[in-house]
Structure 1
Amino acid sequence: MSDATIETGKNFEKLTGFEWDSGNKGKNQKHKVKDEECEEVFFDYNKKILKDALHSGKEKRYLLIGRTKKKRLLFLVFTIRKDKVRIISARDLNQKEYKLYEEKNKNSKV
């Protein structure tokens, strides 16, 4: 996850996993997104992670756009608690976000 450090200033290499509990487990089913898919996008070589300054109150939040193993493009909001990623929400990209992602990755070889 270290390739995102440049955009966020956060070192993601020290993270040990994901935090799932009754507050967020299965929460994104309303968007037809499985918890496993949320985890998969963190391993997308071309993922984009940005700070979410607008919604960072008590804790810092981040935005992530990335692909699942089945190439589904997702938009995630997450935070870091201790050494784990906690997914706040996940959904498919809208058209504007999709175009932005494709534009940023058009020269990628992966």
Structure 2
Amino acid sequence: MEVQILGFDWDTGNRRKCRQHGLALREIEAFFRQESVFVMPDIHHSQVEERYIAYGPSPKGRPMLVAFTFRIKEGETLIRPISARYMHAKEAREYEEKSSKI
């Protein structure tokens, strides 16, 4: 999925949720600007709106994932992070194995 990022849609709830996991908003925004991010539909959480999960290395090199959706505001498509965190050890191993095959 190739998307031109025009900006991000932050509110109090998603800011708080991401910070609880030790991630700064700038780090999450920088994550999406990398070429090495894999995006998949989040089928289990897409009942109300289409959601996605992005996997890849953080700007600091740690494997992370971000649940997000898209929002259209004033005619521009924005990324709305829902939650972000560093991957757990098992998730990171699986990610490394799968991404090395691509």
Range class of TM-score, shorter chain: 0.7 to 0.9
Aligned-residue offset at 1:23: 2.6
Say which SS state the counterpart of residue 32 (structure 2) adopts: helix
- With structure 1 as the length reference, what TM-score do the two structures score? 0.78
SS state at 2:13 partner? coil
Q: Give the drift of 1:106.
A: 2.0
Provide the aligned C-alpha RMSD in A: 1.7
Q: CA deviation at 1:104?
A: 2.4
Matched positions, count: 98
Once the two structures are superposed, what CA deviation does each residue of 1:56-104 show, in whole Å capped at 9, x if it has no partner?
Answer: 0211000011222221221110000111000100111012221122112
In structure 2, stretches of 5+ residues that fail to align are: none
Larger RCO (CA under 8 A, 6+ residues apart): 2
Gaps in structure 1 of 5+ consecutive residues: 6-10
Match of 1:71 in 2: 61
